[in-house]
Amino acid sequence: MPSLKDLKNRIESVKSTRKITKAMQMVAAAKLRRAQDAAEASRPYTERFNAVMAGLAASVGGSDTAPKLLSGTGSDQVQLLIVMTAERGLCGGFNGNIAKLAKTHAQKLLAEGKTVKIVTVGKKGRDAMKRDFGSLFVGHVDLTDVKRVSYADAQGIAKDVLGRFDAEEFDVATIFFARFENVVTQHPTAQQIIPAKFEQVEDADATLYDYEPGEEEILADLLPRGVATAIFSALLENAASEQGARMSAMDNATRNAGEMIDKLTIEFNRSRQAVITNELIEIISGAEAL
Amino acid sequence: MANLQFDLVSPERRLAQVQATEVRIPGADGDLTAMANHAPTITTLRPGVLTVVHGGGSDTYVVSGGFAEITATGVSVLAERALPQAEVTQEVFDAMVEEAKAVHRKAQDNFKNEPGPVDDAAKLLSDMVAIGGHIGLTAKT
């Protein structure tokens, strides 16, 4: 049975843990709001962009001269997985879930005899994937110093990926990230970005546009941007998901710490009472013996 | 006079959303002005100055590329990077020109025997420098 002193120390330590988790939860809540705003602000661009691209892709997609970024290299032998996770832990299952999805995907591809290459964005995903797939790593993007994801960061990653594509290092690229639904739910998602896939709009009376310059030139100009845009929106979704996951994880931790404090306090009071009773018994039995 | 809905969005934020009467766009193949009932067009942009004329006067923005979707009732400009003219100070402008110069140098190094990419980069740089003339700033040589 722990002594009174020990119990007191434990209670103090759990109390300070609760303070820390509470503070982290509040910080995450503030950051979440900002991340959500950023994700919201980027939505009009992404939506318009995809709408235009879908139209273009539909009209050019079938031709033989379509850019490789759209039609693919004609093979799917070499697969590039871009695993995007957070730089920091303490956010529940957020990093683990993304890594798990990427791992299952990689195992499936390897079982099919495909070549897999992995680029990691964010330290935590790298650590999680290292043991099983360390030999497949071809690159890593560190965003530790980035406080707020900007389009330039996404462009940097896109440039790296497109450079590899031009050098014919891979045929298909897929990004892994967590789509933000709400504070308690984030869905780990795999999205293929090269060759680009667009939801086909089944619109019979779609407007017929004039293209300036030609359709194919515009498409060639826009596809690399599409990669950057997809990565950017994934980064934003990830940022919001991370904060959401951290917020609920820290909320749970705070609640657990509270329960633990209650339990320990009861135990402390009981043992204190036991000590007092013991002392009384000793005094009384001492007095009786006289 | 008929109005058209003008949207200017960059990946990071929505910069403008107004009812405009006229939008002057720096298209890749030359400037164009969109007014209501314009034929539906999609054009890429070159770095340049975009002007929106609306009931309360006109606004100018500096855009660094992207594309525009023009329909009979509206214009949406999806710019890679866009700034209201007032935010483009000499320093910002210098940084933009410097960036274009770096791209140009890189193109010259990487594609020694292919004129295509080098010419594109040179065009980008001269477009960038030309913006200065429009907004009263001069590029450092």
Taking contacts as CB-CB distances below 8 angstroms, the residues of chain B near A166 are none
Inform me whether the pLDDT recorded for A145 exceeds 90: no
- ipTM tops 0.90: no
pLDDT at residue A64 above 70?
no
Mutation for testing the B interface, residue in A42, A45, A151, A205 having most B CBs under 10 Å? A45
Phi first, then psi: give them for residue A221, nearest 5 degrees: -75, -35
pLDDT, one tens digit per residue, over A44-56 is 888 888 888 887 7
Contact A211 B43 (CB under 8 A): yes
CB spacing of A150 vs B12 below 8 angstroms: yes
A238 and A270 part of one domain: no
pLDDT band at A112 (very low <50, low <70, confident <90, very high): very high
What is the average pLDDT across A2-28?
94
- Residue B94's domain comprises 88-135
Q: Cα separation of A182 and B87, whole Å?
A: 35
- B10 has pLDDT over 90: no
Q: Which amino acid is at B69?
A: E
Task: Please state the φ and ψ torsions of residue A79, each to the nearest 5 degrees.
Answer: -110, 130
User: Does residue B58 share a domain with residue B13?
Assistant: yes
Q: Over the stretch A166-194, which tens digit does the pLDDT of each residue have?
A: 888 899 999 999 999 888 889 999 988 88
Structure-token pair, residue A78: 């070499």
Please name the member of B13, B42, B66 whose beta carbon is closest to the beta carbon of A211: B42
Give the pairing of strands B57-63 and B41-45: unpaired
State the smallest CA–CA distance between residue B125 and chain A in angstroms: 17
User: Between these two residues, A132 and B139, which has the higher pLDDT value?
Assistant: A132
- Reported as a single tens digit per residue, the pLDDT across A201-243 is 555 446 678 887 887 788 888 888 889 989 999 999 999 999 9
CA distances to A36, A102, B61 from B128, in Å: 33, 42, 13
- B41 to A218: CB separation less than 8 angstroms, yes or no: no
Main-chain dihedrals φ then ψ at residue A275, nearest 5 degrees: -60, -45
Tell me, yes or no, whether A124 lies in a domain. yes
Q: Which residues pair with A82 in a beta bridge?
A: A119, A175
Interface of B with A in 24-63 (CB under 8 A): 27-29, 39-44
Which residue of A41, A209, A225 is in closest CB contact with B12?
A41
Q: Residue B116 pLDDT more than 90?
A: no
Q: Between A259 and A50, name the one with better pLDDT.
A: A259
- Amino acid A284: pLDDT: 95
Check whether residue B69 and residue B96 sit in a common domain: no
Which of residues B137 and A132 earns the better pLDDT score?
Answer: A132
Q: How many domains does chain B have?
A: 2
Are A92 and A107 within one domain? yes
Same domain, A258 and A192: no
Say which amino acid occupies A72.
G
| CA-to-CA dists, residue B134 to A1, A86, B21, B50, angstroms | 82, 43, 21, 10
The answer, for B109 touching chain A at a CB cutoff of 8 Å, is no
- Give kind and range of the element (H or E) at residue A53: helix A4-60
| Spatial CA neighbour of A28 closest among A226, A193, A251 | A251
Residue A116 DSSP one-character state: E
Segment A35-44 shows an average pLDDT of 88
Tokens of A97: 């879930």
- Among B58, B76, B73, B72, CA closest to B15: B76
Is the confidence at residue A268, as pLDDT, over 90? Answer: yes
Determine the distance in angstroms separating the CA of A136 from the nearest CA of chain B, rounded to an integer.
28
Q: Which residue of A has its CA nearest to B40?
A: A209
Of residues A12, A79, A72, A65, the one with CA closest to residue A197: A72
Domain span at residue A266 reads 4-21+250-280
Q: Which stretch of A4-18, A28-42, A54-68, A206-220 has the lowest confidence by average pLDDT?
A: A54-68
Amino acid A61: pLDDT: 59
pLDDT for residue A204: 43
**Contact flag A210-B39 (C-beta cutoff 8 Å):** yes
In chain B, which residue's Cα lies nearest the Cα of A37? B13
A153 and A257 both lie in a single domain: no
pLDDT digits (tens, 9 = 90+) for B54-95: 888 888 998 888 889 898 888 999 988 888 888 878 888 888
Contacts of residue B11, Cβ cutoff 8 Å, sequence gap at least 6: A42, A45, A46, A151, A154, A228, A229, A232, B80
- A-interface mutation test, from B41, B78, B81, B83, most A Cβ less than 10 A away: B78
Would you give the DSSP letter of residue A136? G
Greater confidence, A21 or A60? Answer: A21
pTM of the model: 0.85
Neighbours of A178 (CB within 10 A): 28
Domains contained in chain A, number? 2
Whether B140 maps to a domain, the answer reads no
φ/ψ region of A206 (left if φ > 0, alpha if ψ in -120 to 50, else beta) reads beta
Q: Do B8 and B71 reside in the same domain of the chain?
A: yes
B103 and B75 belong to one structural domain: no
- The pLDDT value recorded for residue A200 is 58
Do A218 and B13 lie within an 8 Å CB cutoff?
Answer: no
Q: Per the domain annotation, does B141 fall within a domain?
A: no
The H-assigned helical ranges of A80-204 are 94-111, 123-133, 151-166
Asked if B18 and B42 sit in the same domain, the reply is: yes
B13 and A41 within 8 Å at the Cβ level: the answer is yes
Q: How far is A150 from chain B (nearest CA, A)?
A: 7
Nearest to A45 among B29, B40, B78 (CB): B78
A263 pLDDT higher than 90: yes
Average pLDDT, chain A: 88
The three-state secondary structure class of A134 is helix
**B49, B109: one domain:** no
**Distance separating alpha carbons of residues A241 and A248, to the nearest angstrom:** 11
Both tokens assigned to A16: 């300070």
